[in-house]
Amino acid sequence: MYKITKEAIEQAHARIQPYIHRTPVLTNQSINEIAGTELFFKCENLQKIGAFKIRGGMNAALSLTPEKLKNGIATHSSGNHAQAIAYAAKVLGTKAYIVMPSTSPSVKVNAVKGYGAEITFCEPNQAAREAAVQKIIDETGAEFIHPYDDFRVITGQATCVKELLEEVPDLRAVVAPVGGGGLLSGTCLGAHYINPAIEVYAGEPEGAADAILSFKSGKVEKAPYVKTIADGLMTTLSEQTLSIIREHLKDIFLVSDEEIKAALKLVYERMKIVVEPSCVVPLAAVLKNKELFAGKKTGIILSGGNVDLTRFSEWFQ
């Protein structure tokens, strides 16, 4: 069985490096003044495919034997993981089979199509997604790569905090967003193996508040309701991601959509970069908990920048 160790993360990093960008770490004086601390933004919005997901997807694909890889790779996702799998298949010369809900925005469908993936549409529910991807696997022998409930994927996501800490070794805290927990559990493990003293925190939307409940109860819980502009963070944790998070995460902070919008405006206006609403949830969490982060050099993982530009009018009013 695949175990996530310091060596596994280092091997994953060496494996995926030729295919990914080493994304820049940006700082911004006026945001530091507002936050009352020094923030270091790891810009995965500037990553290949516009999001960190390429790290996990690429590591999983590169972990397959050449024979297995020949049959292709498959997943169900409406978001950045779909693009990651499609891109990985393209550069590795194999097929990608992507199951997407019929309600997926056309900008995401087109991006996946652009990488040459074969798309199968399904009803927008979990059972339909899983059935559709199972059918494909049975027919093609393709390897299923789950968006987050997969140790190869989590190990790949851990390479992001590894790069951040190589660039800014004296960080005392790191904050990541939490959806299914792939990035967050990878960040927990990556930080832990490099420097166990680093405090890892998560930001979660109030309108998708499952992880905070699961973190407290120790069981995978559902969100009381799901409604947020942070549409990349609507999924629930898995047993595996929860168990890593329970062991290594310091705390989870909830933020409202209004707080997310305010952080989004700050990043667009001050940093001049395009990010997804999901991406600024950690910044919103820091701005809401200033006393905790005061004087503590803090890394923030900006997870992605794939946005539908026509939605700007909802976000910036």
Whole-number Å distance between alpha carbons of 229 and 234: 10
Catalytic residue selected from 42, 48, 53, 261:
53
Select from 90, 246, 265, 288 the one that contacts a copy of itself (CB under 8 A): 265
Q: What are phi and psi of 175, to 5 degrees?
A: -125, 130
Whole-number Å distance between alpha carbons of 124 and 129: 7
Which region among 44-52, 92-100, 147-155, 292-300 touches a copy of itself (by CB under 8 A)? 44-52
Q: Is 265 helix (H, G, I), strand (E, B) or coil?
A: helix
| CB 114, min distance to a copy of itself, A | 8
Site for a copy of itself in 20-39 (CB under 8 A): 24
Longest Cα–Cα distance in the chain? 56
Query: Does 303 participate in catalysis according to the annotation?
Result: no
Q: Does 106 bind a copy of itself (CB under 8 A)?
A: no
Whole-number Å distance between alpha carbons of 109 and 21: 23
Query: Does 53 participate in catalysis according to the annotation?
Result: yes
* Helix orientation angle between 53-62 and 151-167, rounded to the nearest 10 degrees: 130
Select from 8, 9, 31, 45 the one that contacts a copy of itself (CB under 8 A): 45
Could you give the C-alpha distances from 233 to 45, 176, 249, in angstroms and in order? 15, 11, 17
Q: Does 84 bind a copy of itself (CB under 8 A)?
A: no
Cβ atoms of 311 and 274 within 8 Å: the answer is: no
| CB 212, min distance to a copy of itself, A | 29
- Residue 65 vs 317, nearer CB to a copy of itself: 317
Q: Does 310 bind a copy of itself (CB under 8 A)?
A: yes
Q: Does 312 bind a copy of itself (CB under 8 A)?
A: yes
Catalytic residue selected from 78, 104, 185, 238:
78
Cβ atoms of 252 and 211 within 8 Å: the answer is: yes
Applying CB under 8 A, the residues found at the interface with a copy of itself are: 24, 45-46, 50, 265, 268-269, 271-275, 305, 307, 309-310, 312-313, 316-317
* Residues identified as active-site: 53, 78
